[in-house]
Amino acid sequence: MANAVGALAPSVVQVHGRRRPISGLAYASDTVVTSARALGREDGAKVTSSDGRVTTAELAGWDPASGLAVLRAEGLALAPAAVAESPARVGHIALAVARSWSNALTASAGIVAVIGGPLRTGRGRELEQVIRVTAPLHEGFAGGAVID
């Protein structure tokens, strides 16, 4: 498990918005996916890489149904996270990986407990699939990754 967390570590970033720091995941070298709720919708967000480099981030978009936000973080040259080769299944080991308030890497383990959907989210929107895990999520885990 430590090797899996270590392999993902360069792709997990810390995001500073109007609230406490949250985590984010590199989708491309200058693109971060994170939680819109913890971020807020204001300008001035910053992204801190795993090696401590900081850049201003621009809100490129957000999805009200899922609560995900996409940020552009120019100049960080992040390593994108690898996409799973096979779909999650109930009973798979699930590792939640994030950055703590001090930008330290943090992880928690559990299993994939439920895969279901669709799930209505309000105003005629819905999520096609929802995956719930039993890994305890501590402060800073919002916007982080779940890996197998």
pLDDT of residue 41: 58
* pLDDT tens by residue, 42-67: 567 899 999 999 999 999 998 888 88
Q: How confident is the model at residue 40 (pLDDT cuts 50, 70, 90)?
A: low
- CA dist 148 and 96 (Å) reads 9
Does the pLDDT at position 30 exceed 90? yes
Residues in CB range of 13: below 8 A, 6 or more apart: 23, 24, 25, 26, 32, 47, 48, 49, 50, 73, 76, 78, 99
pTM above 0.95, yes or no: no
Mapping DSSP onto H, E and C, the string for 87-105 reads CCCCCCEEEEEEECCCCCE
**Mean pLDDT value across the chain:** 90
pLDDT of residue 53: 94
Between 49 and 140, whose confidence is greater? 49
pLDDT of residue 19: 76
* pLDDT tens by residue, 97-129: 999 988 999 999 999 999 999 999 877 888 899
